[in-house]
Structures are given as structure tokens and as C-alpha cells.
Amino acid sequence: MKGKVIIAGAGPGAVDLITLRAKNALEQADVIIYAGSLVNPEILAFAKKEAEKVNSAGLSLDEVIALTFNAVNAGKNVVRLHTGDPAMYGAISEQMNELDKLKIKYEVIPGVSSVFAAAAAVKAELTMPGITQTAILTRRAGRTPVPEAEDLKKLAANDASIALFLSVADMPGLVADFIEAGRSPETPVAVVYRASWPNQKVVRGTLADISEKIESAGIKRQAIILVGGAIERGGEKSLLYDSGFAHGYRGAKENVKFEGKTAIYAITEKGALKAGEIAGGMTKATVFVPEKFSSQFSTFESFGSQKLGKLIKHNWHDYDAHLFIMATGIAVRKIAPLLEGKTVDPAVVVCDELGNNSISLLSGHIGGANRLASTVAGITGGKAVITTATDTNKLVAFDELAAINGWQVCNPEMIKVFNARLLAGEEMDLMLPEDIFEKKYKDIRGLRLIAGLSEAENPVVTLNCKKSTKQPCLRLFSTGYAIGIGCRRNITVKQIEKAVRTALNTAGLKMDMVRCLASADVKRYEAGLLDFATDYNLLIKFYGKESLNSIVTPHSSPRAEKEFGIKSVAEAAAMLAAGTDKLVLEKQKIDGVTIAIAAVSPEKGDDD
């Protein structure tokens, strides 16, 4: 007999917001295909232990359908689990069309959509009498276009409540659309991040100030935006409800949020729950838990008991940061053999399993551990424990300055010297972009801006020396790097990520110093490459055959020449994008991906 297929809504996140019907379906399921990071792993615990749980994030439509087809024919029950309600941006029609073709029957179970969890969080009646009797559920165009007639500039030209999915990444653009539609800047707006999750955040404001508030709160995705007079209720206009939020907001205002790729390790059940909560609030985090919890937390990676040390060693340079949800002693002993120095070691933070204290342990400034500790404390509502002297004295250390601006330190041996002078209030001259000096150093005794910087120069901190180059100085390098990439067809995003990271490591560079990616025109539709650029929010530039062939490169690529008539992809693209004729790293072939790196010349970088 054939198995059943059920397309079900998992609800917005909180385990007890799934419907009883969907829960029953999960209990009966043999195969569960769930949609990535927005389905709470605790919900998967309703399933049988032996049920197969597959994250659809890494699968194409064809793969999802093939998996479903095979399972059903083997008599297995399949649940395709979507966040919220499947009817809203669930991409279920394409799946249902394929199932229809294969004559596979299915049922759809509704769920509580995140839009309603968001309305509940702000206690709004979207159809408030006297204001509006209409709610519009929509999104702004992203990778999926929105039909022109439904452009927000047109849709919003009335007093309806408007709820937006998938649109928080560009708040200034969204606000501009509302204003163009004729809405007043005073119109109330509420943004709800991860509605109903433990780390839910609510930010209230108006069209006039919401962009800034969202930026300070560090919200970039996984949020519902509610706009309109119905959102505001007497007295609650500018309340920030959530205590976790208030904390995170204050934290985020002072410290820039940590956005690097983070590995989170937990060794207990409570720790794993906390790790999930923290990962949910971060941009790029992977959670690792012992194998014995793998069925309970099936969205996490697992490792064999006794294998934690090995895993950390393996992950060490593949991640920008490592967060340990365990005792400090365990973490210290595990990382001790791996330490090299403050300019190369990744950030290390330790957090107790209740999230009360997040301790910045290693690479506080350049590595970003202080920022990570604050980010984690913002999510858990706990305290960030930071011990670097400059920070405790409320000073921005020069290596921290470099890290938050994505600058490199040319002579790291001088960091200590100059930070010590900063702490001691000794006199120093700075060459920095003026706005940065104003914000960070203007009121600090002893410091003087001797020259604002044009983009063509790099920042320098010197002793009072009238710019004599003989004096000791701390040189920072603000130019970013262009990464040239050549790859074979159907390369995965993982392969590209690994290759880029390996190459950066070899060159002694970090991910946040990358300004852009570059490749050949023929790679314009290479999904793995595009996804990598999106994941890291990097501009990617494609060059045609003629431009590439006009560059003299150290190596040529016989394969690209034979296939596309292009002499070199990675090296030529990196040099073109960087506007330079030198490479920082000549081409490296890493698992099917070719990488070359060039430093972007300040005047000549191809920045359009």
C-alpha cells in the first residue's frame, strides 16, 4: 500500500502553536521534510524516533519530489512541514503540481502563520473598526519578483493594515514606498522578529524612525512588518515590549553585532536548547551536539561522544568564531593546543547553559569575541563578560576599530603599544575618516585628528610626529579584497565556501575583508556561486571573455580556454574587479573550485 503525503504548517515557532492535526500527522510520519531554520527543532521531537528527518534547505524541488515519491511507494507516510501556514510563501504550488503529475495524493493542514503570531505579539487587531476593515498580506520584491500592479507604492495607498513577509532586509526602501504611496511618516509600524520564539523581539516605531531602530536592533531577516493605524493602541505607541529586546537593543547600539560564521557546541540537553535559541538569533551559526541528542535535535550537527576535541580542531579555521555552551575549563583545555596568536585565532566565547553569562575568552578585538559575547547576551538576556582593558574603560581599541570596519592591521606587533598609550591617555595623532574619529575618539584625552582620510588612503595611528614616517605607527589597511572564482558546473555552495575560506586562510585574510567576488560571464547562472554571494551579502561581478583575456595573469587555465576561449577566469576576474595588476594569492585549486585574490586598489576598484 502507498503511504500518505501531508503538507502541514508547523506554526510560527513556539512548539505549542502547532495544530493538533499537524502534531498527529508528525506522530504518524516515517519521513519528515522540513523547511530549514524557521521550523523549531523541538517540533520534530513529536515524530517517532526512527522517522527520517530531512532539512529541505539543501534540496532542490526535484530532490524533494523524488524523496517523497520513493517514500510513498515504499508505503511510508511523508510530512512536508512548512513554517507558519503553508499557504503563505510556502512554495507549495510547485510541489503540488509535481505530485499531481505523479498522481500522488496529498492533504494540506493549515498552521498559525507568523503574521498572526506577530499581530498577537503586539496585541493588534489588524481590522480595527474606525481605522480599517482590511488587512493586506504581501511582500516586497526580492529574488521573487512582485507583479507591478501589486507594488507597495500602489498597494499601500489607503488605510489598510499591511503585513509584510520577507521584506525586512531593506527597511529604508520599504519606508520610501509607503511614503510614496502617501502614508504619513507618523504611521505606526511594528516589526516582530521570530514571533513566538524564545528570542522574539518587538520593535515599535513610525515610518519615520523604524529603519534606524531596526538597524540598531540588528534585525535583518525572519521578521514580520506590520504597518498602519491599527497597530497602535492607546499608550503603547513606542513601547518596546520584550525585556530581551530592550537589552539587545541597548547592547546593539553600543557594540556592533557579530556577523561571522559561528560554530556553537553544546554537550548537555539544556545546553543544546540554549544553543538553538542563540543560533536562531544569529546570522550564520551551526550547532554541534553529541550524537545521543541527534534525534531530539535533528536540525543540529552531531559528533561522537569523546570526539569534541577532534571536531573543534577540524572546525577551527572553518569558522570565524566558536561558542561553547559549557564550563570555561572544558573550553580552555580543548582550544589550548590550537592557539597561534591574536591576529589569526578565531573568536572564542563561552556561555553557561542558562545563558546568564557570555564570556569573551579569546580574540576579543580582531577576532570579534567581545562583539560575539554581547550579541549572545543580547539574545539570551544575560550579561556579556568582557575583560579587555580598553573596553572596560569604554575606549575603542585600535584593533577593535579595525575589526568593526573590516580593516586589516598591517603591523599587529604594534597593537599592544598603541592600545596601551590609548589606555594611559597619552598623546597620539590619528589619520582616520573624519566621521569615525568624531564618533569614537573626539572626546578622548590626548587624541588628535591630523588628517581626515580620502578613500585613497589607509588609516594610521601615530605618535605626535608631524607625520614623519620614522616614528612608530600602527598602520591599518582599509582596502578590501576581490576574490576571483572559477568553478565547474553544478558546484555546491558548500564547496565554494570551503575553497574561499581555505584560500583566505592561506593568504592570512579574513572573510570580512572581502569586498567582492568576481567570475566569468559564463558562470552568471551558477546557483552555488550566486547563493554563496547572497549568503555573505557580497557583490559578485561577471566579466566577459574579452575583458578577461585582456589581462595578463601569472597562470592560464587550459580547460577554460578549451571550453570557453577564456585564458584565465579566477586570476583575471580578481584583478579586473580589484583594478590592479597584482595578485595577493595566485590561483589555488581547491576541490573543483579555483580561487585567486587581489587587493582592491582604492582609486581603481571596479565599484559599479
Determine the Cα–Cα distance for residues 383 and 258; give it in Å rounded to an integer. 16
Contact 450, 429 (CB under 8 A): yes
Q: Which is nearer to ligand SAH, 165 or 249 (CB)?
A: 165
Q: For residues 194 and 567, which CB has a smaller minimum distance to ligand SAH in the complex?
A: 194
**Smallest separation, CB 21 to ligand SAH (Å):** 16
CA dihedral 57, 60, 66, 69 (to 10 degrees): 60
The closest residue (CB) to ligand SAH is 84
- Phi, psi at 423, each rounded to 5°: -65, -40
Take residue 606 and report the three cell numbers written for it.
Answer: 571596479
CB of 38 to ligand SAH, least distance (A): 5
Residues comprising the chain, all counted: 608
Tell me whether residue 82 or residue 247 sits nearer to ligand SAH (CB atom). 82
Least distance to ligand SAH from the beta carbon of 146, Å? 14
Q: Count CB neighbours of 465 within 10 A.
A: 14
DSSP state, residue 600: P
CB of 120 to ligand SAH, least distance (A): 11
Q: Which is nearer to ligand SAH, 86 or 528 (CB)?
A: 86
From residue 134, how far is each of 73, 81, 163 by CA, in Å?
A: 45, 29, 11
- Kindly list the residues in this chain that would bind ligand SAH in the complex (CB under 6 A): 12-13, 38, 82-85, 88-90, 113-114, 117-118, 165-166, 192, 194-197, 221-224
Nearer residue to ligand SAH within complex by CB, 3 or 280:
280
Closest CA to 493 of 454, 536, 448: 536
**How near is the Cβ of 605 to ligand SAH at its closest, in Å?**
33
Compare residues 188 and 364 and give the one whose CB is closer to ligand SAH: 188
Name, in order, each residue with C-beta under 8 angstroms of 103's C-beta and a sequence gap of 6 or more. none
H/E/C letters for each residue in 429-460?
EEEECHHHHHHHCCCCCCEEEEEECCCCCCCE
* Least separation in angstroms between CB 535 and ligand SAH: 15
For residue 116 the three cell numbers come to 498572526
Taking alpha carbons only, the member of 194, 185, 235 closest to residue 212 is 185
Instruction: Write out the three cell numbers for 546.
Output: 574579452
Closer CB to ligand SAH, residue 117 or residue 461? 117
In the complex with ligand SAH, the residue whose CB is nearer, 166 or 560, is: 166
Task: Round to whole Å and give the CA distance between 334 and 313.
Answer: 9
- From the CB of 175, what's the least distance to ligand SAH, in Å? 17
Q: How far apart are CA 403 and CA 517, in angstroms?
A: 20
Closer residue to ligand SAH, CB minimum distance, 112 or 482: 112
- 205 DSSP β-pair partners: 189
DSSP 84: B
Q: How far is the CB of 15 from ligand SAH (least distance, A)?
A: 12
CB of residue 191 to ligand SAH, shortest distance in Å: 9
